[in-house]
Structure 1
Amino acid sequence: MVQMEKSFSDCTLLYLEKNFGLEQVDTLAGLTNWLQLSEEITLSDFEKEELALFQSLLKDNILHWNEQELSLHFIGPMFSSVRFTNRQHYFNLFAERPIETTVEDLNRQVIRLFGKPDGLIATGYREPESPFFCFTEYKKHREPNGEPEGQCLSAMLVGQTINQKPGQAMYGCFVMGRDWYFMVLEGQSYCISRGYDATTEHLYVIFKMLKALKETIKTLTS
């Protein structure tokens, strides 16, 4: 049997639903717990000052930054401030590292899913091993080619398959310009949060979600 191939950049929510039986639901325990944990986090004065600086840069440049500039000046510093490098718990934040696996679709056709997520948090220190979180960034609200939520979910599906723990939540996030959306995949069900505008007070929510994600991953790797 000839093996089919599909890159993350070619994946849409419709494709993933029709071929792998994934189903969008309003919410999942993983997202509810993630949000609740984020609400318990208190930001320090230093963190608030940092966020104010990041937000000021974003407001001044969001209309003309390209994708690389948005990542360099805003998204990267946000993740760095949380510090996802953790040798004790053996996980790290990686960028554009290739991940792939084969997944059987509903017709029992073996599909090779592959790609390089913009961001990936996984076990491993120098190279990713078992993924927990996948991140996709888009500069514009909607690109003419590609679907950020589909790309993110396909990477999450690969991570879930690699881990061989379908009952364990797989986390994700995609950014379209100033708006951040958080995703969770549990089994064949997935959900997407409301959008959070980083140019508003929602920036605190976004940062707390990243910090809550770190604590969740520490628990999973303990």
Structure 2
Amino acid sequence: MEKKKLNHYDVAEVIDRFEINKVFDCFTLKNWLAIGTTNKLKPSHSEVLEEARQQLSIKWDEWNEEELKMNFVSMVIFVSQLDVPKHINTYFERKLSGKVNEISISVTVDCMLASPTYSGRPKNPYFFLQEFKRSLGDNHDPEGQMLAAMILSQKLNEDNEPLYGSWIQGRFWYFTTLTNKDYCVSKPFDATEPEDLLQIVYVLRKLKELILARVTP
């Protein structure tokens, strides 16, 4: 019997194979991106972020995946201060695999927020950041890989709660939500622009609040 699997994680294939609805007016995404006016970075974090932004402005089209991750994405994650002991851990380069509707999914997740086990391994995933690539390759669609990971996590979590995601293409960040079969995508945020970069950090910090509201009494 032929095994059913995704040959390439092309987002159109993922949407079709799992009958996902691409929605353009989504409360969950709007709520996530709705940032208040009280956000403020510590001066030391502002300095780190600005230095990283300036480097991105010069190098974004030169860096490969690892260079973008180490020189810029890691700085954004650090400034966002996402980890919460016993509730939220940040994981890099973790493999996620399983079956949904008898279709095999296996992806290596570039960055994931998940609840930790006592041993420190990821348990329930909440957020995926994919792929750190400066451009799309033939078989490396970051949006498709991210969405496949979100679909698999719906089954693993079994809680009917929204999944959150983001994919990066060069200097552009896109934020996404998946609620049941409804999939929403934000406008691109240009991380070389100071205001957009601050918005990216505040959106990630808001994500921490949304996850904590789900996992703590």
TM over 0.5: yes
Deviation of 1:48 (Å): 2.6
| Unmatched 5+ stretches in structure 2 | none
CA distance, structure 1, for counterparts of residue 201 and residue 141 of structure 2? 24
Comparing 173-182 with 93-102, greater Cα deviation is found at 93-102
Relative to structure 2, which stretch is displaced further, 23-32 or 186-195?
Answer: 23-32
Query: Does residue 114 of structure 2 align to residue 122 of structure 1?
Result: yes
SS at match of 1:97: strand
Return the alpha-carbon distance in structure 2 between the equivalents of residues 41 and 151 of structure 1.
34
Contact 1:27–1:192 under 8 Å retained in 2: no
Provide the rounded CA distance (Å) in 1 between the counterparts of 2:176 and 2:53.
Answer: 23
Aligned residues: 212
Q: Which amino acid aligns with 2:96?
A: I
Correspondence for 1:175 among 157, 161, 168: 168
AA aligned to 1:32 is K
Pick one of 24, 41, 48 that aligns with 1:50.
48
Q: Deviations over 1:62-120 (max 9, x none)?
A: 121111011001001110222222114x220101111122111xxxxx11111111011
Structure 1 residues not aligned, in runs of 5+ = 105-109
Among 151, 160, 165, the alignment partner of 2:154 is 160
Give the SS at the match of 2:183: strand
1:71 aligns with 2:103: no
Partner of 2:134: 140
Equivalents in 2 of 1:68, 1:49: separation in Å? Answer: 23
TM (norm. structure 2) is 0.91
Residue 107 of structure 1 is matched in structure 2 by none
State the superposition RMSD in angstroms. 1.7
Number of the residue aligned with 2:186: 193
1:28 and 2:26 matched: yes
Say whether the 8 Å CA contact 1:122–1:132 is kept in structure 2.
Answer: yes
Distance 2:132 2:58 in 1: 18
The 8 Å contact of residues 183 and 190 in structure 1, kept in 2 or not, is answered as: yes
Q: 1:41 to 1:180 in 2, by over 3 A?
A: farther
Q: Does residue 19 of the first structure (1) align with residue 17 of the second (2)?
A: yes
How far 1:131 sits from its partner (Å)? 0.4
What amino acid is aligned across from residue 208 of structure 1 in structure 2?
Y
Using structure 1 for the length normalisation, give the TM-score.
0.89
d(CA) in 1 for partners of 2:53, 2:2: 49
Mapped to 1, the partners of 2:192 and 2:149 lie a distance apart of 27
